[in-house]
Amino acid sequence: MADVALTPPAVRRSGLSKNLRAMLREPKVLVGGGFILLLLLVAIFAPWLAPKDPLEQDLMLGNLPPAGYPGTEPGYWLGTDDLGRDVLSRVIYGTRIALTVAFVAAGLAALFGTVLGLIAGFYGGWADKVISRLVDIWMAFPPVLLSILLVAVLGSGIHSVIAAIVIIDWTRFCRVVRAETQAQAKMDYVVAARTIGFPRLHILIREILPNVAPVLIALVSLEMGIAVIVEAILSFVGLSVSSDTPTWGGMIAQGRQIIYQGWWVLVAPLVVLFATVLAFNQLGDGLRRALDPVMRR
């Protein structure tokens, strides 16, 4: 029984290397993860990659078309908006806001939801009832409308956007982790660990959590894509960061107003937003396939 409950370090390292090889063999992980890695590099090196200052205005250069169209100017590869600001530079700097919200909001939502899901799924009883009812009540509210309401109450700013996403989306992690924890708690290795006399907290953290982690990792990736969309929606309605800060949602809102004079102002952030969300979804689906032993067969 002791051999069932205890997981030797060598076995754990073997499991990690096996999961890593499975992820590297999954095309969706390579494509989605590669694109997200590229975006991270763009966000980090934005000051060096952006050809212009994203806030610099020149009304004489307003609504310049992208390179290759008549009337363009050298150095403005994606043209300019109605204030003469370089669209490519604003898209590059908008990557910083999108990825900051994606990683921080998804990470905090996962942390909060996972803790409550583990408690509800493993301990059960009144803790499970209270947490489950709280999740049911919370999920009854429309997420987008609730996020707009929360940001309107908290005030605009990236911190308010992150807080709104965390407050809304922790329920998704809680429900999934709770169900997975309940399934793992019935497995033989948990029964053996209890028979040996391991503390409940030890069983939860050292035995159950590593087996819940694959599902959690895939869910975090999907949540990042959702966070990017929510931030874009809030930027679109003017409830995210200040209007001077380049954001994809803010650029889409601006481009919608001048679509007949400068369609490129709308198209450029829309394409990048779509590609980013698709990459996160592909990465999440690929991770789920790579880390799920049933789907690997």
Tell me what pLDDT residue 19 has. Answer: 65
* pLDDT value for 39: 96
pLDDT at 2 (0 to 100): 40
pLDDT in the model for residue 1: 39
Q: 125, exposed or middle or buried, with CB in 10 Å at 0-12, 13-18, 19+?
A: exposed
Amino acid 278: pLDDT: 95
Q: What is the DSSP string of the chain?
A: -HHHH---HHHHHHHHHHHHHHHHH-HHHHHHHHHHHHHHHHHHTHHHH-SS-TT---GGGTTPPPTTSTT--TT-TT-B-TT--BHHHHHHHHHHHHHHHHHHHHHHHHHHHHHHHHHHHHH-HHHHHHHHHHHHHHTTS-HHHHHHHHHHHH-SSHHHHHHHHHHHHHHHHHHHHHHHHHHHHTSHHHHHHHHHT--HHHIIIIIIHHHHHHHHHHHHHHHHHHHHHHHHHHHHTT-SS-TTS--HHHHHHHHHHTTTT-HHHHHHHHHHHHHHHHHHHHHHHHHHHHH-HHHH-
d(CA 126, CA 134): 12
- Residue owning tokens 């198209």: 267
Q: What is the pLDDT of residue 148?
A: 82
For residues 165 and 143, what is the distance between their CA atoms, to the nearest angstrom?
9
Tokens representing residue 180 in the block = 């997975």
2-296: CATH class:
mainly alpha
- What are the structure tokens assigned to 218, written together? 């895939």
Biggest distance spanned by C-alpha atoms of the chain: 78
Residues 6+ apart with CB under 8 A from 256: 266
Residue with tokens 């889409």: 252
Can you give the pLDDT of all 297 residues of the chain as single tens digits? 344 444 555 444 555 666 677 777 788 889 999 999 999 999 999 999 999 999 999 888 888 899 888 888 888 899 999 889 999 999 999 999 999 999 999 999 999 999 999 999 888 889 889 999 999 888 888 877 888 888 888 887 888 899 989 998 899 999 999 999 988 888 888 888 888 878 888 888 888 888 888 888 889 999 999 999 999 988 888 888 777 789 999 999 999 998 888 899 999 999 999 999 999 999 988 888 777 654 544
pLDDT for 58 equals: 87
- Report residue 293 as tokens: 């032993």
Q: Note whether 286 and 23 are within 8 A (CB).
A: yes
Of the candidates 206, 152, 154, 158, the residue with the CA atom closest to the CA atom of residue 12: 206
Kindly list the domain boundaries of the chain, sorted by start residue.
Answer: 2-296
Distance, CA of 297 to CA of 295 (rounded, Å)? 5
State residue 110's pLDDT score: 94
Q: How far apart are CA 110 and CA 223, in angstroms?
A: 9
What does pTM read for this prediction? 0.86
pLDDT of residue 38: 96
